[in-house]
Amino acid sequence: MTFDSREHLTGLLQAALANVAPDHAETPIHLERPKQAEHGDFATNLPMQLARALKLAPRAIAERIVQALPASPEVNKVSIAGAGFINFKLNSGAKTRIVSSVLQQADNFGRSALGGNAKVLVEFVSANPTGPLHVGHGRGAAYGASLSDLLAFAGWDVTREYYVNDAGRQMDILAVSTWIRYLDQHGVTVDYPPNAYQGDYVRQMARQLTNAHGDKYVRARTAVLADTPGLPPADWADDEAKAQRELHLDALIANGKSLLGEDWPYVHQHALSEQLADGRDDLDGFGVQFQNWFSENSLFDTGLVKRCLDKLDAAGHIYEQNGARWFRSTDFGDEKDRVVQRENGLFTYFASDIAYHLNKYERGFDRMINIWGADHHGYIPRVKGAIQALALDPAKLDIALVQFAVLYRNGEKASMSTRAGDYVTLRALRAEVGDDACRFFYVLRKADQHLDFDLDLAKSQSADNPVYYIQYAHARICSLLAQWQGGEADLKDADLALLSNPREAALTAFLGRFPEVVESAARDLAPHQIAFYLRDLAAEFHGYYNAERMLVDDPALTRARMALSVAVRQIIRNGMALLGVSCPESM
């Protein structure tokens, strides 16, 4: 049952509709696959859609439509069920032609024009370049990459973008963290702030500074600590103690900028460049690439942040209070108004974020998709509100939230060794279970659902491991081909009418669902639907393989079964490619 069969039935229904209800000939026709095979191969609720307009019972409309349907050699039987569903049962030739379609279209089978080549920007990961990527970033990376590939396969013109937060306080904290570790290497001991960046990667960047520039950036301890508030005891966790630690850190940053002068930007850029390079390398190894790495700093360099706030101000959406400028976020459903420029003149992160979204719109995208961590849920109303305040269409922006992933080993929450402080790096997870398992397990659930990542299952070679199970189906088919020793080119001429037993009928029907799953997954921004489909397809094939001999004495039947098997292999390849997972030929 190919996608062409769906189009064929749609054409028959449109012809009947033009006869029965010419004034409603443009009514959209929806065809679904009945849950029970005995009800047929496709069903439509068209009579129910027309009942109110025609002022007739749906079943009466169904009878008229069935009578007006043009004859078709593709259709074995048309029946009316329930209140007015029309069921279609196709002939065996229409069902098995899917195999030929898959073999002919190969890597393009399932590709769709659904997106109409509309320009879509998918922004994902966008982690602050202040340390190694962790397992939470990994889920966003896997989801974003698979979603981007899926949308491109379904007909969108996709641009993949990483928003680099290279401006603001967090980057200053990374720079001063590196500098303090550097000073320590030169015997200038300063108590390391607990709210600075932890982990050996900071020491490594400090060693790079030493190797390249010796003691060039060494300054006296008294100057480094001048006018800094004292650090409260480590076990003090009240709000006042936390605030004092932040003031201490800000004073260290101010002293670093003053003492290093023109050298401060170099230290700052060194830390940024090292962490960006590390993130790029990690993502590249994970099979995740971006066309654009968009710098937050560029928004300030081009004056877009100021222009954006001036535009909001002119429209009456900005007011001043206590020396700061505020955006009237509550006018657009947010819980409170938001500061966009502090009393010291510095712009907030929210201000640059508004400008970044304005930039997206000005670049002319038809649709924009932000992939954010679930903890950013509360950020949505203020961003959507700012877009509306700028007189832009907020409906063009979709925000997909990604829940956290929790690692389990032996049924218990897992701790994994890491050099990055108190979290598990993506690189460590990839090293333990492999890229294929990481990519697949990350998209095995809806992105906005909590994910329990079972490390033992991801590494197991069993039918319970969906990655192994699907890859094993692919490898089995490759092994069959090697045993058969025939030419794949000959399979295009196979007599597919010989695929007549119930398992073969079920498998060919399952192949025909792939284009539909692709479109559904693209519409719903849900690559997990591809993962589910592939797992079920592998189960159908394994059941078929275990129940039937593939290589039989009848060469024509063997060729037909090999054609069906190779079609299964092709769809596994196409689907796994969308998920960024490899298909080994032997296991």
Are 309 and 239 in the same domain?
A: no
Q: What secondary structure letter does DSSP report for 347?
A: B
333 part of a folded domain: yes
Question: Residue 331's beta-bridge partner residues?
Answer: none
Are 237 and 257 in the same domain?
A: yes
**Helices and strands (H and E) in the chain: how many:** 22, 15
450 part of a folded domain: no
Mean pLDDT of the region 420-439: 88
235 part of a folded domain: yes
Per the prediction, the chain carries an average pLDDT of 94
Are 504 and 545 in the same domain?
A: yes
Are 54 and 104 in the same domain?
A: no
Contact (CB, 8 A) for 160 and 144: yes
Q: What is the dihedral of CA 309, 310, 314, 320, to 10 degrees?
A: 70
Copy the structure tokens of residue 114: 């659904």
Backbone phi, then psi, for 185, in 5-degree steps?
-65, -20
Transcribe 183-228 into DSSP letters.
Answer: HHHTT---PPPTTS--SHHHHHHHHHHHHHHTTTT---HHHHHTTP
Are 311 and 351 in the same domain?
A: yes
**Which residues lie closer than 8 Å to 44 by C-beta, 6 or more apart?**
9, 13, 29, 30, 31, 32, 85, 86
Residue (of 583, 489, 577, 515) closest to 98 by Cα position: 515
262 part of a folded domain: yes
**Which residues lie closer than 8 Å to 442 by C-beta, 6 or more apart?**
138, 139, 141, 142, 143, 405, 451, 453
Q: Is residue 167 classed exposed, middle or buried when 0-12, 13-18 and 19+ CB atoms within 10 A define those classes? A: buried
Mean pLDDT of the region 110-115: 96
Spatial separation of the C-alpha atoms in residues 487 and 225, rounded to whole Å: 76
Are 470 and 570 in the same domain?
A: yes
Q: What is the pLDDT of residues 23-48, one digit of tens each?
A: 998 999 999 888 887 788 899 999 99
For 349, 377, 389, the CA distances from 336, given in Å and listed in that order, are: 16, 15, 15
Who has greater pLDDT, 415 or 241?
A: 241
Per-residue confidence band for 414, with pLDDT thresholds at 50, 70 and 90 = confident
Are 574 and 468 in the same domain?
A: yes
Q: What secondary structure letter does DSSP report for 25?
A: T
Are 572 and 472 in the same domain?
A: yes
Q: State the first-to-last Cα distance of the chain, in angstroms, to the nearest integer.
A: 31
Contact (CB, 8 A) for 506 and 425: no
Copy the structure tokens of residue 179: 């500098």
Residue (of 39, 84, 41) closest to 61 by Cα position: 84
Q: What is the pLDDT of residues 202-260, one digit of tens each?
A: 999 999 999 999 999 999 999 999 999 999 998 898 999 999 999 999 999 999 999 99
In this structure, what CATH number is given to the domain that contains residue 48? 3.30.1360.70
Spatial separation of the C-alpha atoms in residues 262 and 285, rounded to whole Å: 36
Are 107 and 19 in the same domain?
A: no
371 part of a folded domain: yes
Q: What is the pLDDT of residues 60-90, one digit of tens each?
A: 999 999 999 999 988 989 999 988 999 999 8
Side chain identity at residue 337, one-letter code = D
Q: Can you give the residue range of the structural domain that contains 529? A: 100-111+463-578
The pLDDT value given to residue 423? 75
Mean pLDDT of the region 525-533: 98
Domain count, the chain: 4
Contact (CB, 8 A) for 500 and 560: no
Helix (H, G, I), strand (E, B) or coil at 27: coil
Query: Is a pLDDT exceeding 80 seen at residue 419?
Result: no
Long-range (24+ apart) CB contacts under 8 A made by 332-339 are: 332/381, 332/382, 332/384, 332/385, 332/386, 332/388, 332/389, 333/381, 333/384, 333/385, 334/381, 334/382, 334/385, 335/378, 335/381, 338/382
pTM: 0.91
Q: What secondary structure letter does DSSP report for 130?
A: S
Are 243 and 309 in the same domain?
A: no
- Apex CA 585: angle with CA 139 and CA 577, to 5°? 35
Query: Is a pLDDT exceeding 60 seen at residue 318?
Result: yes
Mean pLDDT of the region 187-215: 95
Per-residue confidence band for 416, with pLDDT thresholds at 50, 70 and 90 = low
Q: Are strands 119-123 and 157-164 parallel, antiparallel or unpaired?
A: parallel
407 part of a folded domain: no
Q: What is the pLDDT of residues 440-469, one digit of tens each?
A: 999 999 999 999 999 999 999 999 999 999
Spatial separation of the C-alpha atoms in residues 58 and 82, rounded to whole Å: 10
Q: What secondary structure letter does DSSP report for 465?
A: S
Spatial separation of the C-alpha atoms in residues 141 and 20, rounded to whole Å: 51
Query: Is a pLDDT exceeding 50 seen at residue 417?
Result: no
Percent of the chain with pLDDT over 90: 87
Helix (H, G, I), strand (E, B) or coil at 92: helix
Helix (H, G, I), strand (E, B) or coil at 524: coil
Transcribe 359-412 into DSSP letters.
Answer: HHHHTT-SEEEEEEEGGGGGGHHHHHHHHHHTT--GGGEEEEEE--EEEEETTE
Q: Are strands 324-327 and 338-341 parallel, antiparallel or unpaired?
A: antiparallel
Helix (H, G, I), strand (E, B) or coil at 452: strand
Spatial separation of the C-alpha atoms in residues 486 and 495, rounded to whole Å: 15
428 part of a folded domain: no
Are 247 and 309 in the same domain?
A: no
| Residue after which a domain boundary falls, among 61, 90, 119 | 90
Spatial separation of the C-alpha atoms in residues 528 and 388, rounded to whole Å: 32
Are 190 and 265 in the same domain?
A: yes
In this structure, what CATH number is given to the domain that contains residue 493? 1.10.730.10
The pLDDT value given to residue 422? 63
429 part of a folded domain: no
